[in-house]
Amino acid sequence: MKRKVQASVAMAASMLALAGIFAPDAISVTHRSPAQLLGEPETVAIAPGSFEFRLPGEFLKNDYPVDAPLQTTAMRRGFAIMKYQVSAADYARCVADGACEAPDVVTATAGDAMPLTGVSYRDATAYAAWLSERTGSVWRLPTDAEWAYAAADRYADDALLLAADGSNPAERWLARYRSEADRTGPDPQPKPRGHFGANAKGVADIAGNVWEWTTTCYTRTRLADGVAQTESTDNCGVRIVGGRHRGYMSYFIRDGKSGGCAAGMAPDNLGIRLVREPDSLLTRLKKLLPARIA
């Protein structure tokens, strides 16, 4: 058994040397400590496929707001997404390393049971960078489309189905408020991991009472006849958050109820769920090699 391990290490070292990473005689075999390499968070594999997806952002026709177009969206590449949201304890490790800022909400709990809340888009990307460095894998926030596809049966279509020629903006605002209020639970207090159960794809607590940051920017689009796009403007100072209803939040906001909600009702809580990129051959070889460069 020992000879097989040594042979695997030698083979991996040779392949890395060929890739120009380092020379075999520059290796000192020292095992990584837990502080050097964290275990991978549990993920759910999301297979490729297609689904009906309501485009995000604000859509105008004849200068009046209308429902966003619904289109068949193909997810040509599968991906792995965290089964559970990032926990308060997970994030605390990043804070302890000096790579993340402490959240606005400090959750006192033993273990990793409670989801992280009180974090901004900037906090979420900082945590993804830290986790990538500590695990050796590439972690990132999902796009809005990826989040919706992973949410599956928990995803809520945000169409209001009002008359397309409605000239009273207040009518639409009130309809959105009523629609989103109906989807908001009576208790905004974060719940322990698993409280909201798993969806049809095995993703836990998605669309519970913690909204999750995505990378997708807020877009304002003017439509011509049908769904033809005539003008579109992105505002990346506002990002989409996925939850019981789609939300639009300023990227630096940590508490949606503080006034940073760009559209619709404010989310109860803001948290993080990440996607893991497939490992490259080089990354797999680095993980295989139980050593570090001297």
DSSP string covering 201-229, please? Answer: TS-BSTTSSSEEEEEEEEEEEEE-STT-E
d(C-alpha 181, C-alpha 176), whole Å: 8
Sequence-distant (≥ 6) Cβ neighbours of residue 12 within 8 angstroms? 285, 288, 289
**pLDDT at site 104:** 85
Q: Is 159 helix (H, G, I), strand (E, B) or coil?
A: coil
Over 70: is that where the pLDDT of 172 sits?
no
Torsion of Cα atoms, 211 then 213 then 216 then 221, to 10°: 40
Per the model's pLDDT, the better-predicted residue between 175 and 269 turns out to be 269
Q: Which of 287, 290, 289, 273 is nearest to 41 (CA)?
A: 273
At residue 217 the predicted structure's pLDDT band, cuts being 50, 70 and 90, is very high
CB 81 within 8 A of CB 46: yes
Q: Kindly state the percentage of the chain with pLDDT values over 70.
A: 67
Per the model's pLDDT, the better-predicted residue between 7 and 211 turns out to be 211
**pLDDT at site 209:** 93
**Average pLDDT rounded to a whole number, residues 175-187:** 60
Q: What angle do CA 263, 269, 271 make, to 5 degrees?
A: 105
CB 131 within 8 A of CB 94: yes
Per the model's pLDDT, the better-predicted residue between 291 and 58 turns out to be 58
Q: Name the residue type at position 172.
A: R
At residue 25 the predicted structure's pLDDT band, cuts being 50, 70 and 90, is very low
Over 60: is that where the pLDDT of 268 sits?
yes
Over 70: is that where the pLDDT of 110 sits?
no
**pLDDT at site 49:** 97
**Average pLDDT rounded to a whole number, residues 203-218:** 96
Quickly count: other Cβ atoms within 10 Å of residue 34's Cβ. Answer: 8
Over 90: is that where the pLDDT of 240 sits?
yes
Q: Name the residue type at position 117.
A: T
Architecture of the domain whose range is 43-276: Alpha-Beta Complex (3.90)
Q: Name the pTM for this structure.
A: 0.77
Taking only Cα atoms into account, the Rg of the chain, rounded to an integer number of angstroms, comes to 22
CB 118 within 8 A of CB 257: no
Over 50: is that where the pLDDT of 22 sits?
no
d(C-alpha 206, C-alpha 219), whole Å: 24
**pLDDT at site 279:** 73
d(C-alpha 226, C-alpha 218), whole Å: 22
Which range, of 92-96, 149-153, 159-163, averages the lowest pLDDT?
159-163
Q: Name the residue type at position 207.
A: A
Q: Kindly state the percentage of the chain with pLDDT values over 90.
A: 51
Q: Which of 160, 280, 142, 161 is nearest to 211 (CA)?
A: 142
d(C-alpha 29, C-alpha 53), whole Å: 50
**pLDDT at site 106:** 67
CA distances from 235 to 71, 120, 221, 232, 250 (A): 22, 16, 11, 10, 10
Which range, of 25-29, 46-50, 127-131, 226-230, averages the lowest pLDDT?
25-29
**pLDDT at site 231:** 78
**pLDDT at site 285:** 64
At residue 29 the predicted structure's pLDDT band, cuts being 50, 70 and 90, is very low
**pLDDT tens sequence across 187-200:** 889 999 999 999 99
d(C-alpha 275, C-alpha 132), whole Å: 11
Q: Which of 54, 227, 70 is nearest to 144 (CA)?
A: 54
Q: Which of 5-14, 24-33, 163-172 has the highest mean pLDDT?
A: 163-172
In this structure, the chain runs to a length of: 294
Q: Which of 29-33, 262-266, 274-278, 284-288 has the highest mean pLDDT?
A: 274-278
**Average pLDDT rounded to a whole number, residues 152-169:** 72
**Average pLDDT rounded to a whole number, residues 226-249:** 85
CB 23 within 8 A of CB 17: yes
Residue intervals in the chain for CATH 3.90.1580: 43-276
